[in-house]
Amino acid sequence: MAAAAAPLDRRFEGTAMAAPAPLERRYEGTARGRGVAAAGWRVCLAHRFEEPWQPYGAGDVSFRDVLRHVGLSLRYFRWWYKKTRVEKKSAFIDLLCAVPLQQIYGCPLGGIGGGTITRGWRGEFCRWQLNPGLYHYGTVIADQFTVCLRCKGQTIYQQVLSIEKPSTLQGWNWGYCGHYAFYHALYPRAWMVYELPGQNVVLTCRQVSPVIPHDYEDSSLPVGVFIWEVENGRDEDVDVSIMFSMQNGMGAKDDESGGHWNEPFALEKEGERVAGVLLHHCTRVNPFTLAISAREKAGTGVTHLTAFNPAGSGREVWQDLLHDGRLESPPGKSSLTEKGELTAAAVCASCTVPARGHRTLEMALAWDMPCIRFGSKEKLHLRRYTRFFGSGGDAAPALSHYALTHYEEWERKIEAWQNPILENSQLPSWYKSALFNELYFVTDGGTIWVELPPDCCDEDLRGQAAAGLSHLLPVLREYGRFAYLEGQEYRMYNTYDVHFYASFALVMLWPKLQISLQYDIAVMVMNEDVQLRQYLMCGQTAQVKQKNVVPHDVGDPDDEPWQRINAYLIHDTADWKDLNLKFVLQVYRDYYLTQDSMYLRDMWPVCQTVMESELKFDTDNDGLIENGGFADQTYDAWVVNGASAYCGGLWLAAVCMMCKMAEVLGDAKIQQKYTDILNKGKEAFERLLWNGKYYNYDSSGRGSSDSIMSDQCAGQWFLGACGLDQGEFEVFPKSHIVSALRTIFEKNVMSFAGGTMGAVNGMRPNGQPDTSSVQSNEVWIGVVYALAATMIQEGLVEEGFCTAEGCYRTVWEQLGMAFQTPEAYREKKVYRSLAYMRPLSIWSMQLALERRASQELQIWEHPDCTTPWLMLPPAALTAINRREAGT
């Protein structure tokens, strides 16, 4: 098989794909680092991305769209003013103050649901989600690693490993030359390789977070480990010290609120000793403790400085380290900070690296915020990790010790999971990077994972448990409650129409979290919230949540999620057509992948309930639902009228799955009922929407109803993922699906931006993007990955990879949006909603590949492959490899 070329300097022939951005071009070093993964996202620290694109603003809306949305704009502005200026809260979607794009982010630190701290690719600590679901964007300049080299008792080199030249801590030697370092991300690990100019010493810092598939313990821990590999190329021994400094706080106003204090700690257990400093951050709400530490072992000394002023020159710290490569500290705790005062601490690990030799220094960052309150401050929640480390707020030393003594095991598990994919030379390297790096959102999606209190007195939960969800309480008790945001800028938990796409990552890697999430939704289906409110799109007043329908989301972290749901008030989603169907589709998909029959049995009545609610949308009784003439589905600003490819296709797929579930559960009556509907509905779907090449957007016959929608095969996507796409279960004629996918590839992909940016949501048959709405001419990255998966399922493997590649390269290489993949971009200049949930759908590509390969296996077995289920059919791969190798 063709060897993979360097991922970032390839040329493409035979497609209009432009050369990818050479993110490593500025690297002038020769070092490749130690143990750095081959695949991943690699960038030189001196790299500069092109001018940042702008978030969608008023200026990007056409006059026609402005007129179309005058009512919404006025109502939104009135609501926004009240929320932000009168109630002094933040808006769940702030259209007037979008987060500005910073092209700086790298892998976040931390496991799932304990909060995250993102490090930038230049090494900065820059994006903080410690208060659940709420982000603070700010680089804390005191949070650094500094290296000190000494030979024969003399310091020969001391440098902050940062290219910054800040105005504080001016007594430190800043301005490391970025041309001699590169960053490499392969989530949940990242590497930074620093060649120390003129020193013949190379440092590789490997950052590891405990994000381990199918692990529900260590994956919840709020820790990150930094393993410093020091390579000495000199002919003499070098004493090397790495100092890790950290401010008490996250660079927000709170840091100066007074009352914070630091203290040194050392913890020895089972012959392993870890030492460092605790930084107690004593806020009224959600207080926490940060811990910086290092592992002491033979030949490695650990020293610390309990407190220093990060707002001053820092000269005393610098000189102290310079003097002997160690830190000296007054004993005991620091005093409490005064109001307006900042404090920081540092820990230093030192060892001697023999001439031409190599040594390792291990450091950790842990944070302990066990008890959390959301914005409403009504309820106290315990984070998942408290079941292993307690909720007393004193766990930071134990967390640090555990992280430093278990990271090797975590890495073994991470490699066992990733290697079969990474070692598959038939998969293009951009895909390997995309697949693992997009997973950052599972932890950095404002994610929370909390315990169900043992004495749970939530009436709703108890009621539902009694009323048929027999495994609700056992599941929630054992696996806790999980929620992640629709997007860092779209602050709603578990937005369900979007989770539909992202859920593949969860069910494939942490299936119990998907199941727990589904139980939560099932409970909410049964509940109502009769409070009335005005919806902003159309201005009508309706209740917050109706009974027997799937909610849009489970709430805003700035309020009280799970308690007050449906934070989204743009539309009354009780009338949305996709939400109920997406529940049914996920239930069967989850059952198919997990074979959890308790789950299936519990969800079955809920599926019947939501399908009954949905049936009322089949107004003409032809077996097919109709859309309501407004944007009543995930494309919430793109109006649909009558039968539609998207919702109609999801409907038929859900009806098919109802038949299948009824069969599995032996419910013949329901099976017959849905079989009848399916037969009628299939006929109506083909008659109303098939135009000989693809399925029309909708059946209204209006101006853009024959648009080509990139997501028109969403129903087939789910059917295929569950093996329900052939024989008696064939819902859509195979030839129609393949023809539709080919049309999408030709029009939405290759005729848009020269085939380099993925698939535009809507394309007119004449090859012009559909501008009938503000969303039809957008590209939705998560939809594109789902489309690519569908193509792979249907045998259009090369087309699928080519389609997805455009999005990856645009986001990660051209636009500098690493670790913040947005919901959408347009062909030029604008994007929408950074750090979004939907792109996790890339895991459905992996499922499609695995499924295909296992089918192909019967007819084609490759002698060299140790993981045959990851193999692709030879014909498709020859083409992909040709493009990958640039031949």
Ligand X SMILES: CC(C)CCC[C@@H](C)[C@H]1CC[C@H]2[C@@H]3CC=C4C[C@@H](O[C@@H]5O[C@H](CO)[C@@H](O)[C@H](O)[C@H]5O)CC[C@]4(C)[C@H]3CC[C@]12C
Residue 636 found at the interface with ligand X (CB under 6 A): yes
Does residue 218 belong to the site contacting ligand X (CB under 6 A)? no
Chain residues 51-90 in contact with ligand X, contact rule CB under 6 A? 56-58, 61, 69, 72-73
Smallest distance from the beta carbon of 825 to ligand X, in angstroms? 12
Asked whether 176 and 197 are in contact (CB, 8 A), the reply is no
Q: Which is nearer to ligand X, 241 or 634 (CB)?
A: 634
Give whichever of 221 and 498 is closer to ligand X, judged by the CB atom: 498
- Within 703-762, the residues that bind ligand X by CB under 6 A are none
Residues numbered 99-138 forming contacts with ligand X, rule: CB under 6 A: none
Give the nearer residue to ligand X in terms of CB position, either 411 or 632.
632
Say if residue 428 is preceded by a cis peptide, omega within 30 of 0: no
User: Mapping DSSP to helix (H, G, I), strand (E, B) and coil, where does residue 455 land?
Assistant: coil
| Contact in structure between 660 and 719 (CB atoms under 8 Å) | no
- In 410-514, at which residue ranges do the beta strands (DSSP E only) sit? 448-450, 481-483
Asked if 338 and 366 touch (Cβ cutoff 8 Å), the reply is: no
Q: Is 776 near ligand X (CB under 6 A)?
A: no
How many whole angstroms separate alpha carbon 62 and alpha carbon 161?
47
Based on CB atoms, which residue is closest to ligand X, 73 or 352? 73
Nearer to ligand X, 128 or 825 (CB): 825
d(CA 500, CA 363): 38
CB 515, min distance to ligand X, A? 22
Number of Cβ atoms within 10 Å of the Cβ of 6: 11
Identify the sign of the CA torsion 613, 618, 623, 629: negative
The token duo for 273 is 């000793």
CB 19 within 8 A of CB 165: no
Residue 763 forms beta bridges with which residues? 708, 769
Q: Which stretch binds ligand X (CB under 6 A): 158-166, 190-198, 456-464, 490-498?
A: 490-498
The answer to whether 495 contacts ligand X (rule: CB under 6 A) is: yes
Q: Indicate the residue among 98 and 322 with the shorter CB distance to ligand X.
A: 98
Which lies closer to ligand X via its Cβ, residue 568 or residue 685? 568
From 107, 203, 483, 498, residue interacting with ligand X (rule: CB under 6 A):
498
**Beta carbon of residue 774, minimum distance to ligand X (angstroms, whole number):** 4
Question: Which residue's CB is nearer to ligand X, number 178 or number 758?
Answer: 758
User: Min. distance of Cβ 631 from ligand X in angstroms?
Assistant: 9
**What is the b/e burial string over 63-99, where b = at least 16 CB atoms within 10 angstroms of the residue's CB?**
eeeeebbeebeebbeeebeebeeeeeeebbbebeebe
Q: Supply φ then ψ for residue 105, to 5 degrees.
A: -85, 150
How many residues lie near ligand X (CB under 6 A)? 23
Is there binding between residue 535 and ligand X (CB under 6 A)? no
Contact track, ligand X, 789-828, x by CB under 6 A: ----------------------------------x-----
> What string of H, E and C letters represents the secondary structure of 162-188?
CCCCCCCCCCCCCCCCHHHEEEEEECC
Interface pick for ligand X out of 124, 239, 320, 497 (rule CB under 6 A) = 497
Least Cα distance to 552 among 629, 625, 631 occurs for 631
Applying CB under 6 A, among 294, 353, 625, 637 the residue interacting with ligand X is: 637
Q: Which CB sits closer to ligand X, 61 or 456? A: 61
Q: Which residues pair with 800 in a beta bridge?
A: none
Q: In this structure, are residues 735 and 745 in contact, taking their beta carbons and an 8 Å threshold?
A: no
What HEC string does 804-831 produce?
HHHHHHHHHHHCCCCCCCCCEECCCCEE
CB of 536 to ligand X, least distance (A): 8
CA 697/CA 705 separation, integer angstroms: 5
Strand partners, 716: none
- According to the binding rule CB under 6 A, does residue 532 interact with ligand X? no
> Minimum CB separation from ligand X for residue 464, in Å?
25
Piece of the chain touching ligand X by CB under 6 A; list 38-46, 445-453, 455-463, 632-640 = 632-640
As measured in angstroms, the least distance from the Cβ of 240 to ligand X is: 49
Cα(798)–Cα(810) distance, integer angstroms: 19
- Is 97 or 466 the residue whose CB approaches ligand X more closely? 97
CB nearer to ligand X: pick between 418 and 712: 712
Q: Judged by CB under 6 A, which stretch of 245-253, 357-365, 618-626, 630-638 contacts ligand X?
A: 630-638
Provide φ and ψ at 244, rounded to 5°. -110, 115
Residue 230 vs 492, nearer CB to ligand X: 492
Calpha distance 176→166 (Å, rounded): 12
Q: Does 490 bind ligand X (CB under 6 A)?
A: yes
Residue 570 sits in the site that holds ligand X (CB under 6 A): yes
CB of 760 to ligand X, least distance (A): 14
* Interface characters, 20-49, with ligand X (x: CB under 6 A): ------------------------------
- Tell the smallest beta-carbon distance from residue 609 to ligand X (Å): 22
Per-residue binder mask for ligand X (CB under 6 A), 447-486, x = binder: ---------------------------------------x
Residues 6+ away with beta carbon under 8 Å from 805:
17, 428, 430, 431
Name the segment binding ligand X (CB under 6 A); options: 154-162, 494-502, 513-521, 727-735: 494-502
What is the rounded distance in angstroms from the CA atom of residue 255 to the CA atom of residue 232? 39
Question: Which of 160, 341, 368, 336 minimizes the C-alpha distance to 245?
Answer: 160
User: How are beta strands 830-832 and 54-55 bridged, if at all?
Assistant: parallel
For residue 131, give the nearest of 391, 372, 382 by alpha carbon.
372
Residue 554 found at the interface with ligand X (CB under 6 A):
no
Give the SS3 label for residue 145.
strand
Q: Give the nearer residue to ligand X in terms of CB position, either 389 or 576.
A: 576
Q: How far is the CB of 567 from ligand X (least distance, A)?
A: 9
Q: At closest approach, how far in Å is the CB of 537 from ligand X?
A: 7
Residue 287: CB minimum distance to ligand X, A? 32
Asked whether position 93 contacts ligand X by CB under 6 A, the answer is: yes
Return the residues of window 828-887 that contact ligand X according to CB under 6 A: none
- Examine residue 243 and tell whether it contacts ligand X (CB under 6 A): no
Task: Find the shortest distance in angstroms from Cβ 784 to ligand X.
Answer: 14
CB of 527 to ligand X, least distance (A): 20
Residue nearest to ligand X (CB): 69
Closest approach of ligand X to the CB of residue 100, in Å: 14
Q: Supply the minimum distance, in Å, between the C-beta of residue 503 and ligand X.
A: 14
8 Å CB contact between 565 and 384: no
Residue among 589, 858, 840 at smallest CA distance from 719: 589
Locate 837 and state its tokens: 């949930």
- Contact pick of 688, 760, 774, 787 for ligand X (by CB under 6 A): 774
**327 SS3 class:** coil
Q: Are 184 and 36 in contact (CB under 8 A)?
A: yes
Q: What span, in angstroms and rounded, lies between the C-alpha atoms of 271 and 283?
A: 35
d(CA 675, CA 655): 8
Among 95, 322, 538, 542, which residue sits at the site for ligand X (rule: CB under 6 A)? 95
634 makes contact with ligand X (CB under 6 A): yes
Q: Which of 568, 591, 651, 808 binds ligand X (CB under 6 A)?
A: 568
Considering the complex, what minimum distance in angstroms separates the CB of residue 848 from ligand X? 23
Burial zone of 665 (CB within 10 Å; 0-12 exposed, 13-18 middle, 19+ buried): middle
Question: If we measure between CA atoms, which residue out of 558, 533, 560 comes closest to residue 544?
Answer: 533
Residue 722 token pair: 């569950």
Q: Can you give the binding site for ligand X, defined by CB under 6 A?
A: 56-58, 61, 69, 72-73, 93, 95-96, 486, 490, 492, 495, 497-498, 568, 570, 634, 636-637, 774, 823
